[in-house]
Chain A
Amino acid sequence: DQQVKQNSPSLSVQEGRISILNCDYTNSMFDYFLWYKKYPAEGPTFLISISSIKDKNEDGRFTVFLNKSAKHLSLHIVPSQPGDSAVYFCAASAGGGSNYKLTFGKGTLLTVNP
């Protein structure tokens, strides 16, 4: 049962354009969402997060949008750069506390072409 879904396994964009990565979730108990970036042979690296009390969080070129009613979030990268080419994982958590754990999507491979 996939509680976090990233339906696009891959995305290709031109350098300088916008990259939009999408994520859907089914568990209404999720209240915190994160995006991780992963290069080959490395561990996931935290990119940006958003709490369910917000609908937008911005950090430089990266913006995450949350639509709770649709159980959907997206990551926008503007402008995209070749160094952004990586696998992007959407993750979610519920409740927190010492029982805190992340549920991950399957990832989307982003390729930014020069």
Chain B
Amino acid sequence: DTAVSQTPKYLVTQMGNDKSIKCEQNLGHDTMYWYKQDSKKFLKIMFSYNNKELIINETVPNRFSPKSPDKAHLNLHINSLELGDSAVYFCASSQPGGSDTQYFGPGTRLTVL
């Protein structure tokens, strides 16, 4: 029973296209996140949502728009894809509050050609 799932696992697309990555968690958590792992292997937070409300936006370009239809889902839509968007994107979730563990999805490897 997957706790945090992401679709698709792999995404290959052309520059300029618009694409979405979906994330769902069945842990009953209130907070969800998107992280990006770039070619240098750094995992960096992009967004966090608490109960469908945007909490953190780490100076991510406007081309990235997260959408949370309910607290179990946090989707990531990317407009006008650029070569530099190629990375692995991880969704995560946690209960709200300071020191709670974040549970990660398996990642989506995005390749922009």
Contacts and interface: CB of A to CB of B under 8 A. Distances in A.
A, B assembled together: yes
A42 interface: yes
B97 interface: yes
Interface residues of A, number: 26
Contacts of B55: 98-99
B101 A101 contact: no
Interface stretch (A43-51, A67-75, A76-84): A43-51
Interface of A: 31-32, 34, 36, 41-46, 49, 51, 89, 93, 95-104, 106-107
B97 A45 contact: no
A41 B99 CA distance: 26
Contacts of A51: 99
Interface stretch (B12-20, B60-68, B69-77, B102-110): B102-110
A42 B94 contact: no
A28 B20 CA distance: 37
Interface of B: 4, 31, 33, 40-45, 48, 50, 55-56, 58, 90, 92, 94, 96-107
A34 B99 CA distance: 9
Nearest to B47: A101
A35 to B, nearest CB: 11
A43 B4 contact: yes
Contact of B105 (A43, A95, A97): A43
A93 B98 contact: yes
Given A43-B107, A104-B42, A32 B99 contact: yes
A41 B31 contact: no
Contact of A97 (B92, B97, B103, B106): B97
Nearest to A47: B101
Contacts of B104: 36, 43-45
Contacts of A31: 98
6 contacts: A32-B99, A43-B92, A96-B98, A102-B102, A104-B42, A104-B44
A16 B48 CA distance: 40
B45 A96 contact: no
Contacts of B48: 100-101
